[in-house]
Structures are given as structure tokens and as C-alpha cells.
Amino acid sequence: MKRQLLGIDIGTSACKVAVFDEDGKVLAQANRPYHVYYPQSGWAEQDAEEWWEAVCDAVRAVLSEDGVNAEQIKGIGVDGQSWSAIPVDESGNVLHNTPIWMDTRARHICERVRKEIGADEIFRVAGNDFLPSYVTPKLLWFKEERPEIFRKTHKFLQSNSYLVMKLTGEMSQDYSQCYGVHFFHMEKLAYDTALAEKLGLSPDLMPKLYGCDEIVGSVTKEAAEKTGLKAGTPVVAGGLDAACGALGAGVYRAGETQEQGGQAGGMSICTDKALAHKALILGTHVVPGRWLLQGGTVGGGGALKWFRQELGGDLSFDELTEEAAGITPGSDGVIFLPYMAGERSPVWNPDAKGVFYGLSYDKTRGHMIRAVLEGVAFSLEHNLRTAAQTGICVDSLNAMGGASNSVLWTQIKADVTGKTIRVPSSDTATTLGAAILAGIGCGVYGGYDEAVGRTIRITRVQEPNPDNRAVYDRAMELYLQLYEDLKGTFSRD
């Protein structure tokens, strides 16, 4: 029997757990949902303990499948959503819900810190702007708004490191998730104590640093009883979901680019040096010696999910896109701004709103659906144009996430960006990336070339249509102009 690897993904709406053989074949997979809480305007929280319960249930489910054997699982990798700030005490007890990547409660703190310390000084170290979605402002929020929690906090964990702790009993901080911590020097790959002190924080708030493929510990007896895993199974540090997704989509060499089509959208360009842009996101890749220049948007598959829930009736996602396919490219002038929870890169406007423009009595639901698909593609193109300002040239994109299962949506993205889009096994890219890290750390693979070569296969290639590209170039300019014209109205009460 071939050796097996387990990948765990802590997403925004659900966890995904998958078991792979060493050639990347999915042997079993399971999803389990959990809640996002919105206690106040601008707040978005999750309960890390709900993640753990969901993961335990999903792991038990995959272990019950034929062909899966806990004895054969040689390593476990965990990836997770970005910018968590989970306060735990010395025993690992969670002290408060974590603000997640959509949370902007620390806006007032960011405005003050940018003035007191200087945005340029912070950017010089972190390679990222000081914005409320990141980890650091959330640490300051706990210090200032919840001092009793802050005093009790031993360490702040990330989504994947919390699950690693629950599995192994060990606290860790992987390099790929450090991009949310502004006193982490993005070029030196070490904490900058001087900047931490200026911020009124300490590197001691963060756990020990680990490489993403480095073994943190092994499954404890207690975790084995909860999950059905074999006690003693090695667990690596894992990393950021987008970075694991990039690896699982085959993006690990400089110049390769991943396009994300999950709940959120965006892209990740692999580089061999720390190339920063203030309107984008810079982080280390889960692959050593590589960085990712990323664009992260709130409008991805979640925008279509919202449309289906509110306006789609009983239609499935396939039926929705079938309606959209009957509409000509450009949606006959209907434009959708996909800023459904504010917007991240490259506009960084927490007040931005979703907008349909160009509706009239002759427009149908199909026009609106296609406009949603195109609006998400426009947000991708906006990030790619911004990245080009650093001198990076992107020729093709490797797609991942549920949206890449749609041939229509993938073609729209190819036409809007003018890039070839290659689709690997999209549904499992993120968990596969986490499993590859486990395979590297546990010696199943001799290196990343072997791992990617054995596990990742391109299933579909879509080329841009030049005629559609011309239509979308004009629509893209209107998309950009609409935001500029409307942004002053978004913050009005």
C-alpha cells in the first residue's frame, strides 16, 4: 500500500480535510462548516474551538473511507486563512474569538500608528502597509480594548498554528503567516525588535518560528482519541492557505502565478526576492527561498454565492453560469463592483460597497450573473496591473478553487486578463499543498521538484479570445472609473 498524507485546510466558511496517496491522488475528503460572527459593524470573528471540532469530525469521516488507513498516514500538513490573532494562555486555552481577515475593527488604531511611527518606516520592514485586516493592528486592539485578555495571553496563534497546537501540544509560527506581523522583516526573515518596541509590542507574543515543511511535533494521545489519527504521526508547521494553494496548483518557481477562485479572489506571483508594492500583499511562500506578491480581494466565489442565495431562486451554480453563458461578453454594459465586504487590494477601502451599474428594463438575471463573473475577473486584472508596476511580467495563471471548475468563468478571466489559464485539480489544491509540505518534512519526497512532478497534473488549458479581450478592455476602464467616481460616497453614513 502506498504511503498516505493528510492535508487540513481552515477556510473562512468551512474546513476541508483530504487524504492523498504519494502521487497526489485523492483517497478521501470531507468538509465541515462553522460560523462567522458579526457582533458589530466592521467586525468579523470566528471561534477557533469550532474549527477544532469541525476538523475532528472531518478527519474521522475521511478515516472511515475505504482505502484510508491511519497507520499509513506518514505526515500531516495544515494550512489556514490569513491574519488571525488567536490569544491563548500557557495551556493553549483560547481566551477570545479571533478577528479574521475580513475584520476592520482596528481602523482607528491604524490611523494613529501610521501618524506616530510613519507608514514608510513600517513598510520598509514589513513590505506591507499598516492596515486593519493584518495581525498587528489586532494585537494592538487587544492591548488597548481588551487589556484583561492581553495580560493573560501567552501567545497569539494563526489559524493553522492553532490546529497544529491542538494536534501536537506545541505552539508554532510558520514563516508564510508572518506577513501579517509588521515587525517581521520580510527580507531578513526575522523579527525586528526595534520596530516591535515602537509599536508597543514584543516578539515574545509570537511562538517559535518554523519552516513550513518543518516538523513541529507529533499527534498526541489526546488528539488521536479525538480524531482517530495514529498517535505519533508527524505534523509540520504548514502555512497560509493561499500559499499552500499556490504550491498545490504547481506554482513554486519564480515567475509562476496562481489565480485564486475560492470564497475570496486574488492572485499570487512567485518571486525569488522580496518585491513589495504598497497596494499589494507581500509574504514568504511555503517553499523556502521564495516569496509571493499577492493580490487579495473579497469578491471571489463568495460574490456568486451571495447572488445565488438572494436572487438565484432554486438554481444551482451550474444553472446560474448557464444563464450567464447566454449573455454576450461585457454583459451589454452591466458592470458589477464586487466589493461585498469592503475591498482589499489594490484599493484597500473597508467602506467600499458592491454595485450593479447599467441596469435597465431590458436586462435580465443572466446579465447580472455574468456581470458578477466579470466583476470578479476585473478585480483580478486590477491586481495584475498593479503588480506589473514592480516590473513583474505574468504570462499565464494556474487556477485553483471552486470557481475554476467553471469553464465559462475561467474563460472570462482569461479574456479579461489576456493570460493563458491552466487548471490543475482545482478542488484539492490547498489541501494538496499542505499535504506536500508534510511529505517534504517527513521524507516522502526528496524535494519540491519531485513532489510537484509526482502530484500535480494540468487538466485544462484556456487561452484568451482576442475579440473578447477588446470588449473587456473597454469595460475594464469603466469598472475602474466607477470606483473612482463612487468612492467618495461609500463612507457616507
Pairing of strands 234-236, 215-218: antiparallel
Is 219 found in the same domain as 338? no
**Contact, 237 vs 172, CB < 8 A?**
yes
Is residue 192 in a domain? yes
Q: Please tell me the distance from the alpha carbon of residue 201 to that of residue 130, in angstroms, as a whole number.
A: 15
The span from the CA of 46 to the CA of 82, in Å, is 13
Q: How much is the pLDDT for 491?
A: 84
Q: Given the DSSP bridges, would you call strands 73-80 and 239-240 parallel, antiparallel or unpaired? A: parallel
Quick one: 228 and 118 in the same domain?
yes
Of 219, 241, 263, the position where a domain reaches its end is 241
**pLDDT (0 to 100) of residue 264:** 85
Q: Are 66 and 96 in the same domain?
A: yes
Is residue 235 located within the same domain as residue 259? no
**Which of these three, 185, 207, 241, is where a domain ends?**
241
Residues 293 and 393 in one domain: yes
Helical H runs in 118-220?
A: 119-126, 135-145, 147-152, 159-168, 193-199
Comparing CA positions, the residue from 259, 314, 46 lying closest to residue 158 is 46
Give the C-alpha distances (Å, rounded to integers) separating 223 from 106, 167, 212, 214, 264.
35, 5, 21, 20, 31
Tens-digit pLDDT string for the chain (493 aa): 689 999 999 999 899 999 999 999 999 999 999 999 999 988 999 999 999 999 999 999 999 999 999 999 999 999 999 999 999 999 999 999 999 998 999 999 999 999 999 999 999 999 999 999 999 999 999 999 999 999 999 999 999 999 999 999 999 999 999 999 999 999 999 999 999 999 999 999 999 999 999 999 999 999 999 999 999 999 999 999 999 999 999 999 999 999 988 888 999 999 999 999 999 999 999 999 999 999 989 889 999 999 999 999 899 999 999 999 999 999 999 999 999 989 999 999 989 999 999 999 999 999 999 999 999 999 999 999 999 999 998 999 999 988 999 999 999 999 999 999 999 976 789 999 999 999 999 999 999 999 999 999 999 999 999 999 999 999 999 999 999 999 999 987 6
Same domain, 323 and 363: yes
pLDDT at 426: 61
Q: Is residue 359 part of a domain?
A: yes
> What's CA 27's distance to the chain center, in Å?
24
Domain count, the chain: 2
Last residue of a domain, one of 200, 221, 241: 241
| Residues 103 and 132 sit within 8 Å (Cβ to Cβ) | yes
Q: Is 213 buried (19+), middle (13-18) or exposed (0-12) by CB count in 10 A?
A: buried
CATH of the domain at 70: 3.30.420.40
Q: Contact 229/8 with Cβ under 8 angstroms?
A: no
Residue 34, pLDDT score: 98
In terms of domains, do 352 and 482 share one? Answer: yes
CB 267 within 8 A of CB 294: yes
Q: Say whether both 315 and 389 belong to one domain.
A: yes
Torsion angle of C-alpha atoms 436, 14, 47, 156, degrees rounded to 10: 20
Q: Return the pLDDT at 1.
A: 64
**Claim to verify: residue 230 and residue 321 sit in the same structural domain:** no
Are 279 and 146 part of one and the same domain?
no
Which one-letter amino acid corresponds to residue 480? Answer: L
Please indicate, yes or no, whether residues 269 and 406 belong to a single structural domain of this protein: yes
* Cβ neighbours of residue 489 closer than 8 Å, sequence gap 6 or more: none
Residue 122 domain flag: yes
Structural domain containing residue 493: 251-423+463-493
Task: Give the C-alpha separation, 479 to 466, whole Å.
Answer: 20
The verdict on 289 and 402 lying in the same domain is yes
Strands across the sheet containing 291-297: 281-284, 291-297, 265-271, 257-261, 396-400, 420-423, 460-462
